[in-house]
Chain A
């Protein structure tokens, strides 16, 4: 064809036009991450009460998914103790080859196996709240539980000044859980040099924590109990309330169940360390998006913890943390 070269020049110029236009205006539009399939998020439990820890984590997840324009699917076992269920759910999620797995591990050791499987299939994994005994996860988004434990311990130390009873006890939830181990380590670090008579495990059963506490409170020298999670705290405070020992035995707990806040207000519980579950969910998805966009991520993201006492519980900035909207 006689006009081949004209056509060529035309096309080239047109292409240049197109490209320049795209380039010129491309930077005005914020690039959102395009994923083939949704990010799979497997939490510890889904069947909890509204407003409990995992429900708030979920809200954070939803907000981040909305902000970064990514699709997420949140699943999980009904209860936290159903470890095998969670492993099955992870295995099923791996079959769908999602771009990213976010897992709140119900067990520090047993969850390593499915996460290794995901890694073999090149599915990156982020752990949230509770990690696993492995280097595979690209990031771990959780409360720094040692730090949280220290906060509880330091408050306990402060409150114990002038208390004639000198012995201290720790009521923990599960022996082999990372959160329990870390929190206890933090508490013990802060209470260095004080008389800790021991750690008792309630196996995440409030009734058991209550009974343990009743036994502990028979000790006339016991001046304080640090409870390491919600269930433990509720068991301990219930026992203290029933025995009317709130003036003599100082209770410092964890988490922010409504009942705990009520105890906090009435002075039975002196302080509680709360996590930021909303931020946990939000930052898990945000970190996933950063990782998938090729940005650098850090292996550990601390979502922070706050010591709540009767004095600050109604402060504006903590109100929504303690009493989420929509209650």
Chain B
């Protein structure tokens, strides 16, 4: 079946509209779902990251508070308090004792780098037994010293820095310092300093990081970096952090998370240290799997689209296929064929349509058949009427001849001619019957020839040579007479000399062949062709024809009407050698 993909066809229209609609639907759905998935993944990742960040804050706080307990227990230590109270510095033995006990605290924990007690005069008592105090440091100016004094016995937590208090040592530390206050007098005895190696906090910050590009950094209360994994990049401006924004955020109440570029910042503040711990998550880390999600979505969309596309195709062709069949069958009507659709596989509507069409075609068929019958009847009756007409000229001439012969007293001839005329009429009428025996037909033409022979004396002779066995076979009445009339008027009458008409009849191959042969003028090929086409053409299509032509056509048409199209009249002729008319009839017994 040919497909013409014109938007006008139903199939194409259904398909196009469906395709566009499904495409749009899938597209929108994918977009919405993808967005949704992205947002969900992002927000849940951020939520996770936030949880991690809080955990980091808790860990840092608990770590710091565990160290704070140490500072409390040292500053409350009886021996130390006594020692400080009594200005034990003077006694080297006691000093050594205190330093050893401080050293024990250092040894107890790996993460403590040093524990010091600093007097108000700047004298330093270190728990590190081997180390010497850096002579270039002025302890009293250090942040941790002043911070501790400001807090009146509360622990001061410094930012991270390089501790250079011991000569030749530079250690990254976070310091916890507190003023040692006498439990008896309430006087300030000095400042206790616990230096924590910064590694622990650094490790914590580095470990609780999400994604390949995520990181955490810590700001102190003034916005200075306590820790940043890439501090050098930050300080040389190769990487910038929105510190101002973060600090502004803390002042306001707009929540503690924001996005800058493709980085997400979350801030949690540690209550113990006043540090702002900032967790940074990178968008690309959250969407590492999104490429996969994207491909999956695309693939699902593709399959969905194909499935729907095929289904649409099935539906549309399911509708249009029977319609195409219906259409094809209906088209045969143009060629005059009335085919029935019959039972087809289709929807109820189409089947209904097909049934109705079949009923209609049935009706039309009946009507056409009836019409054909009527037409035939009409033609038959027309022909009947025609054949019944006796050429009035002939009758007039014959009667004229009779009168003339009567006047001449030729009684025998008058009787002969009158009786022949009477016989002619009797057979012509023959009780209104259409079919007569060949015998009667021969008698009829015999009578005609008798009359004509008497009228055209010595003009022609004739011979009727019909196989007697054929005499009882039926023939249409008045078939031979027009042929003989034609032979006389157009053959013999036109030629010089004596004419001869030979009528012969015989059976051959289930056919009766009767030929009427004259030796008259004959016809030119053109005339012959004209005559043959005139005979073959139906009278309604070619009403104008010579009387003789009409007679011959009448015979031909009647034979075909009664016996079928394979029978009828044929004609051969050539100029000056005469004409042979041949009638072909079925060799068929009479039917009751």
Those of A243-282 within 8 Å (CB) of chain B = 258, 261-262, 265-267, 276, 278-279, 282
Q: Which residues of B contact A13 (CB under 8 A)?
A: 19, 23, 305, 309
Q: A294 on the interface (CB 8 Å rule)?
A: no
Q: Are A5 and B170 in contact (CB under 8 A)?
A: no
Q: Are A321 and B232 in contact (CB under 8 A)?
A: yes
CA distance A261 to B135 in the complex (A): 14
Chain A residues with a Cβ under 8 A of chain B = 2-3, 5-7, 9-11, 13-15, 17-18, 20-22, 24-25, 28-30, 32, 60, 63, 66-67, 69, 258, 261-262, 265-267, 276, 278-279, 282-283, 304, 310, 314, 316-323, 325-327
Q: Are A6 and B15 in contact (CB under 8 A)?
A: yes
Interface of B is mostly: helix
Interface centre among B162, B167, B168 (most CB of A within 10 A): B162
Q: Scan B222-238; emit 1 where CB is below 8 A from any A CB, else 0.
A: 00110001111101101
Instruction: Say how far A171's CB is from chain B's closest CB, in angstroms.
Output: 24
Known: A25-B294, A266-B136, A323-B162. 15 other contacts (CB 8 A): A6-B15, A6-B313, A9-B15, A13-B19, A17-B27, A21-B297, A25-B34, A60-B232, A276-B236, A314-B164, A316-B224, A319-B161, A319-B162, A320-B235, A321-B232
Q: Scan B440-482; emit 1 where CB is below 8 A from any A CB, else 0.
A: 0000000000000000000000000000000000000000000
Q: Are B305 and A17 in contact (CB under 8 A)?
A: yes
Contact of A14 among B15, B31, B306 (CB under 8 A): B306
- Known A-B contacts A282-B238, A319-B161; the reply to A21 vs B294 at CB < 8 A is yes
Q: B536 on the interface (CB 8 Å rule)?
A: no
- Known A-B contacts A17-B298, A326-B199; the reply to A32 vs B313 at CB < 8 A is no
Q: B283 on the interface (CB 8 Å rule)?
A: yes
Q: Are B302 and A17 in contact (CB under 8 A)?
A: yes
User: What are 20 inter-chain pairs, A to B, with CB distance below 8 A?
Assistant: A2-B1, A5-B3, A13-B305, A21-B30, A21-B31, A25-B290, A28-B38, A63-B229, A66-B213, A258-B168, A258-B170, A262-B168, A265-B134, A266-B135, A279-B232, A310-B136, A316-B225, A320-B231, A323-B162, A325-B172
Q: Which residues of B contact A261 (CB under 8 A)?
A: 170
CA distance A67 to B238 in the complex (A): 12
Give the nearest-CB partner of B321 in chain A.
A2
Q: Are A17 and B291 in contact (CB under 8 A)?
A: no
CA distance A306 to B27 in the complex (A): 58
Chain B residues with a Cβ under 8 A of chain A = 1, 3, 5, 15, 19, 23, 26-27, 30-31, 34, 38, 134-136, 161-162, 164, 167-168, 170-172, 198-199, 202, 212-213, 224-225, 229-233, 235-236, 238, 262, 283-284, 287, 290-291, 294, 297-299, 301-302, 305-306, 309-310, 313, 317
Q: Which residues of A contact B198 (CB under 8 A)?
A: 325
CA distance A66 to B199 in the complex (A): 21
Q: Are A304 and B294 in contact (CB under 8 A)?
A: no
- Known A-B contacts A18-B301, A326-B199; the reply to A10 vs B309 at CB < 8 A is yes
Q: Which residues of B contact A17 (CB under 8 A)?
A: 23, 26-27, 30, 298, 301-302, 305
CA distance A231 to B276 in the complex (A): 41
Interface of A is mostly: helix
Instruction: Say how far B261's CB is from chain A's closest CB, in angstroms.
Output: 10
Interface centre among B167, B212, B235, B309 (most CB of A within 10 A): B235
Q: Are A18 and B202 in contact (CB under 8 A)?
A: no
- Known A-B contacts A2-B3, A6-B309, A261-B170; the reply to A304 vs B236 at CB < 8 A is yes
CA distance A20 to B305 in the complex (A): 15
Q: Which residues of B contact A32 (CB under 8 A)?
A: 284
Give the nearest-CB partner of B306 in chain A.
A10
- Known A-B contacts A2-B1, A262-B168; the reply to A9 vs B19 at CB < 8 A is yes
- Known A-B contacts A66-B213, A327-B171; the reply to A21 vs B298 at CB < 8 A is yes
Contact of A325 among B202, B238, B294 (CB under 8 A): B202
Instruction: Say how far B296's CB is from chain A's closest CB, in angstroms.
Output: 11
CA distance A314 to B164 in the complex (A): 9
Those 8 A-B pairs whose CB atoms lie nearest each other, nearest first? A10-B309, A18-B298, A278-B232, A317-B235, A14-B302, A320-B231, A30-B284, A14-B305
Contact of B172 among A63, A267, A318, A327 (CB under 8 A): A327
Contact of A29 among B3, B26, B213, B290 (CB under 8 A): B290
Q: Which residues of B contact A67 (CB under 8 A)?
A: 213
Give the nearest-CB partner of B135 in chain A.
A266
Q: Are B162 and A314 in contact (CB under 8 A)?
A: yes
Q: Which residues of A contact B27 (CB under 8 A)?
A: 17, 20
Q: Are A21 and B232 in contact (CB under 8 A)?
A: no
Q: Are B302 and A18 in contact (CB under 8 A)?
A: yes
Instruction: Say how far B201's CB is from chain A's closest CB, in angstroms.
Output: 11
Instruction: Say how far A261's CB is from chain B's closest CB, in angstroms.
Output: 7
Q: Are B34 and A21 in contact (CB under 8 A)?
A: yes
Q: Are A276 and B313 in contact (CB under 8 A)?
A: no
Q: Which residues of A contact B34 (CB under 8 A)?
A: 21, 25
Q: Which residues of B contact A63 (CB under 8 A)?
A: 229-230, 233
Instruction: Say how far A241's CB is from chain B's closest CB, in angstroms.
Output: 13
Instruction: Say how far B235's CB is from chain A's closest CB, in angstroms.
Output: 4
CA distance A69 to B26 in the complex (A): 35
Q: Which residues of B contact A318 (CB under 8 A)?
A: 235
Give the nearest-CB partner of B312 in chain A.
A6
Instruction: Say how far B328's CB is from chain A's closest CB, in angstroms.
Output: 16
